[in-house]
A = this chain, B = another copy of it.
Amino acid sequence: MTLPFTIESQTGPARLARISTAHGPVETPSFMPVGTAGTVKAVPQGILEDLGAQIILGNTYHLYLRPGHELVRNLGGLHKFMSWDRALLTDSGGFQVFSLSELRKVKEEGVSFRSHLDGTSHLFTPERSMEIQIALGADIVMAFDECTEHPAERERARASMEMTLRWAKRSKDYFEAHKHEVPWNSVPALSAENAEGMGHPTAYPTAPALFGIIQGGMYPDLRRESAERTVELDFPGYAIGGLSVGESRAMYPDLRRESAERTVELDFPGYAIGGLSVGESRAKTMEMIAVVLEILPKDKPRYVMGVGYPEEIVQYAAMGVDMMDCVLPTRAARHGLLFTSEGRINIKNARYAQDQGPADPKCACRVCARYTRAYLRHLFVSAEPLAGVLNTVHNLAYYLDTMRSVRHAITLGDLSGMLSGSVSLT
């Protein structure tokens, strides 16, 4: 069984489903916390479990550079290395090397780039990406794609899409020949607890699954064509890529400031400001997702990469998206931005100095149960490491609870409450 995907309930296009991995079940729609370097930044694994995270992401680019995929494989794979026995998904490294901008060069063979850590030269090809992801031992592996920049001229978007399709084929060929080399394949990976949560304890996969990625820029016909031709290659799941590019940071001055600061840290010879046509961009994103969802098979998981704000992920889930991931809740937390049922708050604001309420009065997470906004503000303005821990735990709780509410609403057959409560997207 490649990747059992059981739809349990549907409301309109939205679906409540269950993905069965060798490392336990993933209930969808699911938001996947990002654990770039084998750690969801600042959060101990036990707390992630308590929060109910069933799957987290690892980044191929980062783990390849440090500590190195060979080392991780030698130590039994990423699950064992980071002591996480639930599901793991790794990206292909395509988006990260794309983000390196001036440091990378794209050819038919693959992408050559220089490490942001030490400037050494490296080459990622579809085959190499598969080899690394198999060594890491993810449950879900992503095809190596070219993440098309935005904006892109039509011909550029088409060429990029064609490249991604050729790379998808090469990814699949290599993956199918080597997928049983994951470090966990030789041992019984599924714990009793996970098997129980699976519903069908015997029907779990013994190898990882490879997802194809749809590109095509902001051109509906290219997206449609990319979807059709990727589906022809026949993957057990599909992702929609290239939608988080230069977009989601656009609406928020503080995130834009952060984006600038962090980009400058990477030290480029020049800088560009992207994604400024915002309202248009968010609407375009939804349009691209809608176009692609029409074509993707309904019996397989559909994953939108790198999104988004809480109101966005609710909207996309309502449209029939099953999986999403984003650095937003974790990265924003480290900058003092908290997502709450009353909107986003910047905890360093002086107005919270004597605020004895929790971060979010409607949140039941361990942070909101115990600590006040006044204390969280004090930790943040004092640059205390506990600030990052507590803020991240709350933001992840907010995202995971949001998805839990979405799943509950699907069971009840009514998502309107969730959607009306969200901020308008246009």
Q: Does residue A107 face the partner (Cβ distance < 8 Å to B)?
A: no
Contact A371 B83 (CB under 8 A): yes
Given the complex, which residues of B lie within 8 Å of A375, measured CB to CB?
Answer: 38, 81-83
- For the complex, what is the distance from the CA of A374 to the CA of B384, rounded to whole Å? 26
Contact A389 B385 (CB under 8 A): yes
Contacting B at CB under 8 A, from A350-381, are: 353-354, 356, 366, 370-372, 374-375, 378-379, 381
Given the complex, which residues of B lie within 8 Å of A382, measured CB to CB?
Answer: 37, 66-67
- For the complex, what is the distance from the CA of A231 to the CA of B115, rounded to whole Å? 64
Contact A378 B83 (CB under 8 A): no
Contact B41 A385 (CB under 8 A): yes
Copies of this chain present in the complex amount to 2
Contact A353 B388 (CB under 8 A): no
A44 CB contact (under 8 Å) in B74, B81, B378, B390: B390
Q: Does residue A39 face the partner (Cβ distance < 8 Å to B)?
A: yes
Chain B residue with the shortest CB-CB distance to A66: B382
Given the complex, which residues of B lie within 8 Å of A386, measured CB to CB?
Answer: 39, 41-44
- For the complex, what is the distance from the CA of A43 to the CA of B379, rounded to whole Å? 12
Q: Does residue A45 face the partner (Cβ distance < 8 Å to B)?
A: yes
Tally chain A residues at the interface, Cβ within 8 Å.
37
Contact A39 B371 (CB under 8 A): no
**Most interface-central of A39, A41, A45 (chain B CB within 10 A):** A39
Q: Does residue A253 face the partner (Cβ distance < 8 Å to B)?
A: no
Contact A66 B366 (CB under 8 A): no
Contact A354 B71 (CB under 8 A): yes
- For the complex, what is the distance from the CA of A291 to the CA of B309, rounded to whole Å? 64
Smallest beta-carbon distance A2→chain B, Å = 30
Chain B residue with the shortest CB-CB distance to A367: B44
Contact B74 A42 (CB under 8 A): no
A374 CB contact (under 8 Å) in B75, B371, B385: B75
Q: Does residue A270 face the partner (Cβ distance < 8 Å to B)?
A: no
Given the complex, which residues of B lie within 8 Å of A75, measured CB to CB?
Answer: 354, 356, 372, 374
> A52-95, CB under 8 A of B: which get 1 and which 0?
00000000000000110001001100000111000000000000
